[in-house]
Amino acid sequence: MTDYHRRAGIRLPRPELHATLHAVVESQIADPELPVRSTVERLMDEGLDRHETIHAVGSVLAGHMNDLVRKFEERGAKPGTGAGEDPNVRYFEQLKALTAEQWLRSG
């Protein structure tokens, strides 16, 4: 992952975090129970290459994780202590709404 960015001349301010997001998205793609694989296939059908698609999904994932951390901080709770709700429902909804055009416009 980092080799691709190095060859492409892309400077990463936090390469370890970037590589981690790549790995998490790839792991989610491998899980047939998750809607991530179908999102990736759809985004590629809409014209993104695989790497752009990983970035698009990774950006949604990073935003989702950030939102989760903020919610827990606002409640004064620790991650993993929330009752009842599946925190991934919102993430999966955001993935289903994501389009290649939307990603490309985001810059």
Q: Where are the domains of the chain?
A: 2-105
> pLDDT confidence of 10, banded at 50, 70, 90?
low
Triad 95, 28, 38: Cα angle to 5°: 50
Q: What is the CA radius of gyration of the chain?
A: 15
* Unique residue bearing structure tokens 């955001």: 94
Question: Has this prediction a pTM greater than 0.85?
Answer: no
Interval 19-74: pLDDT, tens: 888 999 999 999 999 999 999 999 999 999 999 999 999 999 999 999 988 887 77
